[in-house]
Amino acid sequence: MDEAQRARIVLKNLNKIYPKTPIPLKHRNIFTLLISVLLSAQCTDVNVNNVTKDIYPKYNKPDHFVKLGRKKIEKLIRSIGIFRIKAKSVYNLSKTLVEKYNGKVPKTFEELEELPGVGHKTASVVMSQGFGYPAFPVDTHIHRLAQRWGLTNGKDVIQTEKDLKRLFPKKYWNKLHLQIIYYGREFCKARECYGISCKICTSCYPNRKKPMKTKKA
C-alpha cells in the first residue's frame, strides 16, 4: 500500500466519523480567535475556553487589551500555562494591531507571522478558521498521527505540512485539519494507540505488530 492509498483511507474514515467540524476554540470574532490560538500553546482547548468565556464578553477588541495592560491580562489568564509570556504577547500583539492595522487582524500569512507571539501554525489556524483561506496547520499531534498513518517521513512539522498538502486536495485542507485533531483526541491518542489499535492505523498498516516510534517535531 502506498501513501496515496493510505491518504484515501484516512479521508474516507474521517469524513464518515466527522462530517461536521466545529471550531474547538470558542471566539467572538477573528481577533479573539487569534488570541485563543495564541493562548492554546502548551494548553488544552478546554482550559482556554474555560478562561476566555469570562473574558470575551467584556474584552474582545485589540484596544480593550491595550487599555488593560500586561499585569491585568496576566491576572485574567493566570490559570493558563506560561501565562506571563502569553500576556506579554497578547498585549504587544494588541498594541501592534491598534497602531499598525487600525485594530484589524491582517489577512496574509506574512503579516500575521510578523505579529508578536504569532508563529506559522497560529497564522495558519487564523487563515483557515478565521478567513477560510486553504491552510493546513500542523501541531505536534497531527505530526505524530501523519507518521503513524504513513503520510510523512516525520522529519519535522514543516515537512509534515508539505507532505499533507501534497497528498490531499486543497479543498479538503481546512476541514481535514480539524478532523485529524478530533480523531486524534478520541481514537489515536498519544499514549494509547501507538499506531497499532485505532481503525485508521490498523487499516493503513494491518500487519504492524509493534508500537510505532514517532520522530519528535
**Which residue in the list 121, 213, 215, 216 is annotated as catalytic?**
121
pTM for the model stands at 0.92
Query: Comparing C-alpha atoms, which of 51, 49, 84 is closest to residue 70?
Result: 84
Give, in order, the Cα–Cα distances in Å from 67 to each of 43, 209, 216: 26, 57, 40
Q: What is the pLDDT of residue 190?
A: 80
Reported as a single tens digit per residue, the pLDDT across 51-107 is 999 999 999 999 999 999 999 999 999 999 899 999 999 999 999 999 999 999 999
Closest CA to 141 of 41, 49, 51, 210: 41
Considering the domain architecture, whether residues 121 and 198 belong to the same structural domain is answered as no
Q: pLDDT tens-digit profile of 14-32? A: 999 999 999 999 999 999 9
Question: Alpha helix locations (H) across the chain?
Answer: 3-17, 30-39, 45-52, 62-68, 70-76, 83-101, 109-113, 120-125, 140-148, 157-167, 173-186, 199-204
**Residues 139, 209, 213, 215: which is the catalytic one?**
139
| pLDDT tens readout for residues 119-159 | 999 999 999 999 999 999 999 889 999 999 999 997 899 99
Residue 210 domain-assigned (yes or no): no
67 flagged as catalytic: no
**Which CATH number belongs to the domain containing residue 112 in this structure?**
1.10.340.30
Q: Are residues 116 and 75 in the same domain?
A: yes
CATH number of the domain that 163 lies in?
1.10.1670.10
Q: How high is the mean pLDDT of the chain?
A: 95
Residues 35 and 83 in one domain: yes
Cα gap 25→134, rounded to integer Å:
19
- Sign of the alpha-carbon dihedral angle for 212, 199, 176, 86: negative
Q: Which residue do the cell numbers 489499535 mark? A: 197
Q: Which domain holds residue 165?
A: 3-21+136-204
Q: Residue 121 catalytic?
A: yes
**Spatial distance between the Cα atoms of 188 and 126, rounded to a whole number of angstroms:** 25
